[in-house]
Amino acid sequence: MSLDPQLRQRIKDLLQANRIVLFMKGDPRAPQCGFSAKAVAALTALETPYAHINVLADPEIREGIKAYGDWPTIPQLYIDGELVGGSDIIEQMSNSGELHSALGLPAPDRTPPTVTVTPAAHAVLRKAIDDAGGDLVVKLDIDPNYRTRLALAQPEAAAITVECDGVRVQVDAPAARRADGVTIDWADDTRGRGLVVDNPNAIPPVRPMSPVDAQARTSDGTVRLVDVRPADERAQAAVTAPFMTLDDGPAALEALPKDTPLAFLCHHGGRSGQAAERFRQLGFREVYNIEGGIDAWSQHVDSTIPRY
C-alpha cells in the first residue's frame, strides 16, 4: 500500500511529538481487542506515560500506520520514532527486560513470587499435566485489574518459574508482584467446583456504605464524596457535605492517589455503583457505593433535602 505524503507526515508528527506511542484499538481504559489489552498491560506495568492512538476512531491512521512501518496488524508500539512491534513482541520484551532497557528503566524485579498449590489442586494439576504429555507448566496470568486466568502451556524461557512440589507455575515478569502470596486451590463448595485462585493482592470489591456513615466519614475527612449526577439533578437535591463531581470529566478524580477512599452518590445507587466499579478497576483500593443514594440520604440523614 502506497502512503499518501500528507498522511505520512501526519504520522511522523505524532511520533516526533511523543517518545512512546501505542497505536491500538480502543484506549488504555477500555481496549477493544485482546491484543491491544495485552500491550496496554505490559506498558501499564512500567508506570511510564505513553501516548495512545485509537485507530478505530481514525480509519486513515488505522490503514496508514500499517504501511508506514510495514507491519500488518494492530497494536503497534513505537519508541523514539522506531517501530518496536506488536503485542507478542511487546510482551516478550517486557518479560526479558529489553523493553525496560529500551526506555531507560531499571530491569524488572524477577524475584519469584510465593505461590501455594494446595494438595487438592496439586492432584488435579498433576493429572492434567501428565494426561497432556508431561512437559507443560501452569501459566498464571494476572492482569493489572487482577483478573486471573490459569492454563496449561509450554514453558517460556523468559517467564518466572515457581516449583510447587513438582508442578511448575509460570508467571510473566510484569505480573510477578501481583502474584506474590497467591494460593491455587480445588473447590467443591460455595466457591463453585474447580480450580480457584485466592489473591491477597487483589483490589477489594466495591463496598456498600450507608448515608449515615457517608455523612460521618465525609465530615471527618476520611472519605471523598463523589456525586455522579448531572448539575440539573443536583440542583433539585444536594447534600450539604463537600463533594466532587464529574462535570468536567474524570481526569481530576483519576489523578488522585489510588489509596484515596472514594464514596459515590447518585439518585438511588445505580449510576453510582457503575461509577464506583469503574474506579475500582482503575486501581482504587477503597471504593464505596452509597446505598439508596440521595433519596436515602434525605430519609436517614437530612430530611430537608427534597426527594424527587
Question: What's the CA gap between 237 and 54, in Å, rounded?
Answer: 38
DSSP string, 53-121: EEGGG-HHHHHHHHHHTT--SS-EEEETTEEEE-HHHHHHHHHHTHHHHHTTPPPP--PPPPEEE-HHH
The dihedral region occupied by 36, where left means phi > 0, alpha psi between -120 and 50, and beta the remainder, is: alpha
Catalytic residue among 171, 266, 275, 276: 266
Q: Which residue has the cell 508506514?
A: 68
The amino acid at residue 293 is: G
Query: Could you give the CA distance from residue 243 to residue 228 in angstroms, rounded to a whole number?
Result: 10
Q: What is the pLDDT of residue 173?
A: 86
pLDDT at 1: 56
Per-residue model confidence as pLDDT tens for the chain (308 residues): 578 899 999 999 999 999 999 999 999 988 999 899 889 988 988 888 999 999 999 999 999 999 999 999 999 999 999 999 999 999 889 888 899 999 999 888 889 999 999 999 999 999 999 999 888 999 999 987 788 999 999 998 888 999 999 999 999 888 899 999 999 999 988 888 899 999 999 989 999 999 999 999 999 999 999 999 999 999 999 999 999 999 999 999 999 999 999 999 999 999 999 999 999 988 899 999 999 999 999 999 999 999 99
pLDDT of residue 29: 82
The continuous run of DSSP H or E covering 215 comes out as helix 211-219
Is 54 in contact with 27 (CB distance < 8 Å)?
A: yes
Q: What is the pLDDT of residue 2?
A: 73
CB 171 within 8 A of CB 210: no
33 is catalytic: no
Length in residues, the chain: 308
C-alpha cell at 167: 508442578
Parallel/antiparallel/unpaired status of strands 262-265 and 192-198: unpaired
> What are the CA-CA distances from residue 145 to residues 26, 243, 303 (Å)?
17, 27, 39
What are the cell numbers at 291? 446505598
CA separation for the pair 20, 80 (Å, rounded): 7
pLDDT at 246: 96
Residue 148: strand pairing partners: 142
Strand intervals (E) in 199-297:
207-209, 224-227, 244-245, 262-265, 287-290
What is the structure's pLDDT at 126? 95
